[in-house]
Amino acid sequence: MAWARATTKGPTDAKKCPAKTTDRAHETTCTLVDDPSFRSIVGYFQHFYEGNMVATPIPSPSFVKHIMLELPLTRNLAKDALDTGLGAPIIHAFILRRRLRDALNPALEALALELEQVGGGMQVSNRGGFHSARDLFASRPGHRALQRLRVKLAQALVEAETAEESSTSDEESDTGLDPQTTPTSSWPNVNRAGHFNGMHDHIEASWSGVYYVRVPQKPKVGNGPHSGTICFRTAVGGFGAALEDRAYATNPAQPEGWCSIHHLDPSPGLLLLFPGWLMHGVMPLVCDDDGDYRVSLAFNFGEDTSPDLPHPNSGSLVPESTRTPGAATRKRKRKRKGQ
């Protein structure tokens, strides 16, 4: 697993690790900016800054590794950032044990390809590629590999909630989560050469995540090093006058403002958990073999499933300035603040 500009904290710091701004005189231009697809995915900003990650190892009984990645802004950017009221995001990265990964992934890959062959997929945030219906776990209750993965997702959720409670309070945390927790929605993605995902969020989910089943080797030339990278847009700013909830950075002829980008390179067996409101997208897949493909399984926890609300994976590319936190997100924020 690789991440950009990571600063590591020791395991003993796990209980006192709130997100902090860093003092760097100059921001670093994001290394993805030279990719011709980058602006069309992330937004038409004038400046793109590569964010620093603060990595804290978390002791885990269920995974090879659990790394809590805090995504702070530099002090300069924090002063100028658009205030969403959501604070600095945290991403949790988990690595499955090799034996379990090797047992699960072939069966999960076969299932994703089977569903792709049947057809009937959706176009949501995906541009090309296959995105199945969003009831994967519910529709396959007898699929052994899928149900074993469901258990790992529940374990990851409990660990993530516990780690964040511990980082903000010395009190014993109580997540109130049932060990049989099942994602409220889930779907496989199959991306082939040139396919990508536009910037989007899952605003009505408390947690969103992705598990990587198959990741082709990246070519070392051209845009290959950026192939399939997941990008998180953590902050925007520099607009000057009030936005008045208008969409921003959508006109390629008139770039404006800045955004802070964090990105991670996927690998088989990597599981990511992050807040549903966090904007994210995926860079185009580049393969040495045009017939190669990537398989991932995406999921949400804690969605508000009221019939009059849009689905949290609606694929909307509306910037976060025009969005408000969902009920589940607000509930989670209140819980973390001890309200």
Fold of the CATH domain 37-167+180-217+224-301: Jelly Rolls (2.60.120)
The more confidently predicted of residues 304 and 186 is 186
Which of 57-61, 192-196, 330-334 shows the lowest mean pLDDT across its residues? 330-334
Residue linked to tokens 């990278």: 229
Domain map of the chain by residue range? 37-167+180-217+224-301
Predicted pLDDT of residue 332: 46
Residue 8 has pLDDT above 80, yes or no: no
Predicted pLDDT of residue 12: 33
Confidence of residue 109 (pLDDT cuts 50, 70, 90): very high
Confidence of residue 43 (pLDDT cuts 50, 70, 90): very high
Percent share of the chain, pLDDT over 90? 48
Burial of 149 (0-12, 13-18, 19+ CB in 10 A): buried
Residue 145 has pLDDT above 50, yes or no: yes
Residue 174 has pLDDT above 60, yes or no: no
How many CB atoms lie under 10 A from the CB of residue 81? 17
Residue 328 has pLDDT above 80, yes or no: no
pTM of model > 0.85: no
Predicted pLDDT of residue 290: 75
Give the closest residue to 96 by CA, choosing from 229, 252, 250, 213: 213
What is the spatial distance between Cα 186 and Cα 205, in angstroms, rounded to a whole number?
12
Question: Angle 326-202-325 (CA atoms, 0-180°, nearest 5)?
Answer: 20
Percent share of the chain, pLDDT over 70? 74
Which of 8-17, 21-30, 164-173 shows the lowest mean pLDDT across its residues? 8-17
